[in-house]
Amino acid sequence: MTIAEERTRISAGPQHGLTADTYRSEDIWQQECRTVLAKNWVLIGFAHQIANPGDASPVTCAGLPLLTLRAQDGSIQVFHNVCLHRCMTLVDKPRNVGKLIRCPYHAWAYDLQGRLRAAPHFAGTGKQEFDGFDLKEHRLEPVRTHVWHDWIFVNLDGSAAEFEDYAAPLVNRLEGMDFGRVEPIGLLDFGEIETNWKLIMENFIEPYHVQFVHAATTDQPLEDHYTITDGNCIGSAVDLKQETGTAGSLGVSSRYLTLYPNFILGRYFPDQLGVYLNVPTGPGRMRQYRALYTTEGQQLSADEIEGLRQLWWDVHKEDHEMVERMFEGRKSPVAAGGGLLSPAWEDSVRAFQDLIERDLASTDQKEQTQ
Ligand SMILES: [Fe+2]
């Protein structure tokens, strides 16, 4: 009996998905920003995009404007992207700020550690400080940050477990990966997608749709897949009996892994990796990027890289149509009960939804005791 058949055998009928409201409601989105996206480690950016000291990039997490910044010593820091003076956003597009982040409004300036260095004329012409206002006592508000290889994570409320513990179920499944040899070879920017970000996550962790949606772009038979549900690491895997490579279509053994809530990593044996940056921006809006990596230090030609970019562009576009239509379908009363989930292939989806429900409920408890 296969794993999928065994899971079906022990299930008591199909489980239901999350209610339609969980995807479409503005109130639940706000609640998600306070819980799911605040208390966990959320991916917000790629370290290689801010490679040099002074490189700064504005990002958003849980609807908040944040700033990722490379300091002089090479470390990466994340701050709230807001000036302490009039609360302007400081940096509005990726750029190198030099040694100081200067607010465009009244030229307040912060160094790359976030310390306030100038507040020109704040106390009168040519004067900055006065009794009760000392530059040294002010700095940009930092956000708890962890950089894991090329991936910048934040935990907004500071309450998550240490990243090493939080991510252990994922890290344990990447055994044999030599991260010292992982090199970025390209970044795809898919722009805005009109869906709820959870549908993108759910789509990634179930292998059921691959044969239908990606018939033209993949050669990975359903029967060779199995799902993975391991704490914060949820996904699926496929071990092929016959490998056909990645030229034109994807026909290699793969791991489709996530780190709850929004980190997605695809490992394609023997030598490729893809990481999705999923940025929820509202109940029905998100942005998505995919970084492509080689894992064995192999040199690819420009044509080979272009071929991979095209393959992944096509695969993602196939998924985007599905997740946008699932979001649209959730306007219907038919969707109120959440639809039906396969015990064989979508227990992973339900496991992700269980974590979402757990976190959403944590707000309710807090609000009830207030
Ligand atoms: Fe897909």
CA of 220 to the centre of ligand 1 (A): 12
Please state which of the ranges 33-37, 214-218, 287-291 shows the lowest mean pLDDT. 214-218
CA of 38 to the centre of ligand 1 (A): 27
CA of 46 to the centre of ligand 1 (A): 23
157 part of a folded domain: no
Is it the case that residue 297 has pLDDT exceeding 70?
yes
How far apart (Å, rounded) are the C-alpha atoms in residues 74 and 259?
26
CA of 42 to the centre of ligand 1 (A): 22
CA of 210 to the centre of ligand 1 (A): 5
Residues 47 and 23 in one domain: no
154 part of a folded domain: no
Residues 125 and 224 in one domain: no
Share of the chain above pLDDT 70, in %: 98
Is it the case that residue 277 has pLDDT exceeding 60?
yes
- Tell me which of 147, 168, 184 is where a domain ends: 147
Share of the chain above pLDDT 90, in %: 89
| CATH number (domain holding residue 207) | 3.90.380.10
Is it the case that residue 73 has pLDDT exceeding 60?
yes
364 confidence band (pLDDT: 50, 70, 90): low
How far apart (Å, rounded) are the C-alpha atoms in residues 193 and 328?
12
153 part of a folded domain: no
Residues 216 and 293 in one domain: yes
CA of 355 to the centre of ligand 1 (A): 22
Inter-residue long-range contacts of 306-309, CB under 8 Å, 24+ positions, other chains counted: 307/247, 307/248, 308/185, 308/186, 308/246, 308/272, 309/186, 309/188
Residues 250 and 347 in one domain: yes
171 part of a folded domain: no
Residues 209 and 336 in one domain: yes
Residues 180 and 274 in one domain: yes
26 part of a folded domain: yes
CA of 174 to the centre of ligand 1 (A): 21
Residues 129 and 231 in one domain: no
The SS3 assignment for 16 reads strand
How far apart (Å, rounded) are the C-alpha atoms in residues 237 and 255?
5
CA of 353 to the centre of ligand 1 (A): 18
CA of 286 to the centre of ligand 1 (A): 17
CA of 307 to the centre of ligand 1 (A): 18
152 part of a folded domain: no
| CATH number (domain holding residue 95) | 2.102.10.10
The predicted structure's pLDDT at residue 187: 98
173 confidence band (pLDDT: 50, 70, 90): very high
Residues 205 and 259 in one domain: yes
156 part of a folded domain: no
CA of 235 to the centre of ligand 1 (A): 12
CA of 212 to the centre of ligand 1 (A): 9
CA of 124 to the centre of ligand 1 (A): 60
Residues 257 and 315 in one domain: yes
366 confidence band (pLDDT: 50, 70, 90): low
Q: How many domains does the chain have?
A: 2
CA of 144 to the centre of ligand 1 (A): 32
CA of 214 to the centre of ligand 1 (A): 7
Residues 84 and 52 in one domain: yes
- Tell me which of 132, 147, 162 is where a domain ends: 147
Domain ranges, residue 252? 3-38+176-361
90 part of a folded domain: yes
Residues 300 and 329 in one domain: yes
Residues 26 and 87 in one domain: no
11 confidence band (pLDDT: 50, 70, 90): confident
Instruction: Output the average pLDDT for the chain.
Output: 95
CA of 260 to the centre of ligand 1 (A): 18
How far apart (Å, rounded) are the C-alpha atoms in residues 354 and 360?
10
Tens digits of per-residue pLDDT, 178-201? Answer: 999 999 999 999 999 999 999 999
Average pLDDT over residues 301-310: 96
How far apart (Å, rounded) are the C-alpha atoms in residues 323 and 203?
7
CA of 313 to the centre of ligand 1 (A): 12
